[in-house]
Amino acid sequence: MKIFKNYLFLGLVSVSIIFLASMCKKDKGTDLIGNWVEQSDYEGVARGDAVAFSMGNIGYVGTGYDGEDRLSDFWAFDAERNNWTQVAEFPGEPRQGAVAFTAGGEGYVGTGYDGLVKYKNFYRYNPVSNTWHWVSNEFGGLPRYSAVAFSINNIGYVGTGFSGNAEKDLWAYNPADSTWQQKTSFQSKVQDALAFVLNDKGYICTGYNNGTYSKDFYRYDPSDDSWTALRKIGNVSDQSYDDSYTIIRKKAIAVVISSKAYVTTGDLGNLRNDVWEYTPSTDLWTTRTNFEGSVRIDAVAFSTENGRGFVATGQSSSLPLDDIWEFKPTETYNEAD
């Protein structure tokens, strides 16, 4: 009788394993929303900690670190043709950990680090003439790296980062008169955070300071220079909405597609590939199909004018990367893409 029970137990375990395996297989094929499609590899050398900005349907990726050297080359990605073209080289000191934004029909790249020196200088790129020009009025804050940048209504914003200490200040750049103006500071010191823009408002989250991952999430309104606290991005409430939240991390990216933002990659004690979709109307996050490329930190992301979103380059452990992936959030997962 005892032997019979053991065989019965093993049989039930086997059936359970088969059932769970079939369920997992079904979930992979039918329950995941969002599809990642690999595009033509970045044509420059593999790198992490680069910058990216976009104008129209062209994304621009350059600078960064290849594991040995800081870089200054720049490449343009034509999303419609799935093709890379080298453009004029960034004229400033080669660097990593810089920021970039678009304002007034030009791309701006500045701050960063060359392994010894932190920078506060900026250069602007004109896509029509394929030329860079030094911005004579330097960034108003301290030299730094691992900051964030975004643009709203042709005004560029740069803040947070590491200057020797974590920072929380925010500065606005107006290309019309090439001036920097200090704005209301972000609410906590943080480095290696991320920023995105939805509905003409800026959002900052993730990153770390004092050895702790930040759970803070704030929205910036340039119309009255104010910050609004949103729901935190960790499981801190007594409600159920955040029970599965693992959005906290550092060195991640955000890409905006249509009216939502998507956060992925980064480091939370281990490298991450989970994807979180943010809906501003509800202030809630939802999981989507995992990023299909190698897990990584220090990637770049950009969105094109026609509503496409891309994630490129980065570093996986000590390996610099040169792939690029497009995320299609409304499509069903397709492993073959």
* Domain range list for the chain: 1-31, 32-332
Tokens of 202: 């800026």
pTM value is 0.90
Is 121:180 a contact under the CB 8 Å cutoff? no
For residues 232 and 218, what is the distance between their CA atoms, to the nearest angstrom?
9
pLDDT score of 243: 97
pLDDT score of 32: 76
Tokens of 173: 């750049």
For residues 112 and 64, what is the distance between their CA atoms, to the nearest angstrom?
9
| Chain position carrying tokens 């933002």 | 261
pLDDT score of 10: 37
Task: Going residue by residue through the chain, which has 337 residues, state the pLDDT in tens, using 9 for 90 and above.
Answer: 333 334 333 343 343 433 333 333 333 434 679 999 999 999 999 999 999 999 999 999 999 999 999 999 999 999 999 999 999 999 999 999 999 999 999 999 999 999 999 999 999 999 999 999 999 999 999 999 999 999 999 999 999 999 999 999 999 999 999 999 999 999 999 999 999 999 999 999 999 999 999 999 999 999 999 999 999 999 999 999 999 999 999 999 999 999 999 999 999 999 999 999 999 999 999 999 999 999 999 999 999 999 999 999 999 988 999 999 999 999 988 877 7
Q: List CB contacts of 14: < 8 A, sequence separation 6 or more.
A: none
Backbone phi and psi for residue 40, each to the nearest 5 degrees, phi listed first: -60, 125
For residues 312 and 302, what is the distance between their CA atoms, to the nearest angstrom?
9
CB neighbours of residue 282 within 10 Å: 10
Q: List CB contacts of 232: < 8 A, sequence separation 6 or more.
A: 215, 216, 217, 242
Query: What CATH number has the domain spanning 32-332?
Result: 2.120.10.80
For residues 280 and 261, what is the distance between their CA atoms, to the nearest angstrom?
9
Cα angle, residue 214 at apex, residues 212 and 216 outer, rounded to 5°:
150
Average pLDDT of the chain to the nearest whole number: 92
pLDDT score of 318: 84
Cα angle, residue 21 at apex, residues 15 and 24 outer, rounded to 5°:
140
pLDDT score of 336: 77
Report DSSP state, residue 275.
E
For residues 217 and 195, what is the distance between their CA atoms, to the nearest angstrom?
10
Hey, is 25 helix, strand or coil? helix
pLDDT score of 37: 97
pLDDT score of 15: 38
pLDDT score of 31: 64
Report DSSP state, residue 20.
H
DSSP string, 70-136: BB--EEEEETTTTEEEEEPPP-S--BBS-EEEEETTEEEEE--B-SS-BB--EEEEETTTTEEEE-S
pLDDT score of 191: 98
Is 65:51 a contact under the CB 8 Å cutoff? no
pLDDT score of 7: 35
Q: Give the helix, strand, coil percentages of the chain, each rounded to 5.
A: 10, 45, 45
Length of the chain: 337
**What amino acid occupies position 102?**
T
